[in-house]
Amino acid sequence: MNDNDERLIDLCAANDFVIGGTIFPHKDIHKRTCTSPNNRDKNQIDHIMINGTWRRSLLDVKVMRGEDVSSDHYLVIASFEETKSGNKKSGRRQFNVEKLKDPKVRSSFILQLQNRFQTLAGLDDTMQEVNDIWDRTKTAYNETSKTCLGYRVKEEKKDWISADTWETIKKRKEIKKLVINSKSERLKQRYSRQYQEANKQVKKKSKN
């Protein structure tokens, strides 16, 4: 181990990272990630790390020696188990809790919630199961939130490149072909100037 190795281990220990290539049983040829120019020294210096919380989601890490990536380093791949959050799995909509920042909405929410719990207080809880009490409590919060807050409206994602910008990129590409295919030096220079101007337009529109 050298100084960089020790720094990597300290980083993993401080942040609860797991080094994926060290925990799965594979032959050494499927662990070594780099071959030296002399074709003798082989090392495991490329790593995939994951937070320890998600350790069980990591199914395998190994080196793909047969993949050509034009490098003395091999391709390292990891297999993960797909996990879904509770809201996505159940299709549950989220309440618009941002509305609670409004003092009027917050006061109304608290008042309605208190009224619902006063109603629950009149029930004989000693004769009720714990799950029944929990269900009524959860219903009180859900119904109050539905009345006072409503649901969050999902914002539609806008295309990060507009149709007009794509059209400008297309024109620049066409001019590039003219530059490459020009036989005359005079035409090549003219098209090169047009390409530079088109390139400026693409950059300008991409910033807008």
**Does 87 reside within a domain?**
no
Q: Does residue 138 share a domain with residue 76?
A: no
What's the rounded Cα separation, in Å, for the pair 172 and 198? Answer: 5
Instruction: Decide: helix, strand or coil at residue 156.
Output: coil
Query: Has residue 157 been placed in a domain?
Result: no
Answer yes or no: do 75 and 49 share one domain.
yes
User: Domain for residue 123, yes or no?
Assistant: yes
Provide the domain count of the chain.
3
The answer as to whether 158 is a domain residue is: no
Residue 18 contacts residue 59 (beta carbons within 8 Å): no
33 with 102, same domain: the answer is: no
Q: Do 67 and 37 fall within a single domain? A: yes
Q: In a structure prediction context, what are the per-residue pLDDT tens digits for the chain, which is 208 residues long?
A: 778 888 888 888 888 888 888 888 888 877 888 877 655 677 888 888 888 888 888 888 888 876 666 577 888 888 888 765 544 444 578 888 888 899 998 999 899 888 888 877 666 555 567 777 788 888 888 888 888 888 888 776 666 778 888 888 888 888 888 876 878 888 888 888 898 898 888 888 877 6
**Beta carbons within 8 Å of 34's beta carbon, 6+ residues apart:** 42, 43, 44, 45, 46, 72, 73, 74
> Domain range for residue 21?
3-80
16 and 55, same domain (yes or no): yes
Q: Looking at the structure, do residues 40 and 100 belong to the same domain, yes or no?
A: no
- For residues 105-143, b (16+ Cβ closer than 10 Å) or e, as one string? eeebbeebbeebeeeeeeeeeeeeeeeeeeebeeebeee
153, part of any domain:
no
State the pTM of this model.
0.37
* Separation of alpha carbons 95 and 8, rounded Å: 42
- In this structure, the answer to whether residues 112 and 65 fall within a common structural domain is no
